[in-house]
Structure 1
Amino acid sequence: MEATKRFRRDDNVDPTNPDPSIVVHVRNLSPKATEADLLEALSHFGAISYATCMPGKRMALVEFEEVEGARACVVYAQTNQIYVAGQAALFNYSTSKMIQRLGLESENPNHVLILTIYNAQYPINVEVIHQICEPHGTVKRIAILRRTMLQALVEFENAEIAKKAKHAMNGADIYSGCCTLKVEFAKPDHVKVTRNDQDQWDYTMGPPPPGGHGNADYGYMANHDDRYGGNYGRGRGVDGYYGRGRGGYTKEDVGYGRGGGSYGRGRADAGDGPVLMIYGIDQTHWNCDKLFNVLCLYGNCDRIKFMKSKPDTAMAQMGSVRQVYTTIDNLHGAAVFGSKLALRPSKQQVLHDIRDPFDLPDGTPSFRDYSKSRNQRYTTPELTARNRIVKPSNVLHWYNAPVTMTEEKLKELFMDRGAATPQKVTIFPQRSERSSAGVCEFVSAEQALEALAIANHTAVESPVGKAPYIVKLAFAGSRDGKDFRM
Structure 2
Amino acid sequence: MSNPTPSTANGNDSRHFKGDRSPCGPSRVLHVRKVPIEVSEAELVSLGVPFGRVSNLLMLKGKNQAFIEMASEEAAITMVNYYTTATPHVRNQPVYIQYSNHRELKTDNLPNQGRAQAALQAVNAVHSGNMTLGGTASGGDGTLMPGQSPVLRIIVENLFYPVSLEVLHQIFSKFGTVLKIITFTKNNQFQALLQYSDPMNAHHAKVTLDGQNIYNACCTLRVEFSKLTSLNVKYNNDKSRDFTRLDLPSGDGQPSMDPAMTAAFGLSMHTMPGALGPLSMAPSGRMTLHGMGPGAVHSVLLVSNLNPDVRVYGDVHRVKILFNKKENALIQMADATQAQLAMSHLNGQRLHGKVIRVTISKHQTVQLPREGQEDQGLTKDFSGSPLHRFKKPGSKNFQNIFPPSATLHLSNIPPSITDDILKDLFAGTGYTVKAFKFFQKDRKMALIQLGSVEEAIQALIDLHNHDLGENHHLRVSFSKSTI
TM-score by length of 1: 0.37
Which one has the largest radius of gyration?
A: 2
TM-score by length of 2: 0.38
Q: Which has the higher contact order (CA 8 A, sep 6+)?
A: 1
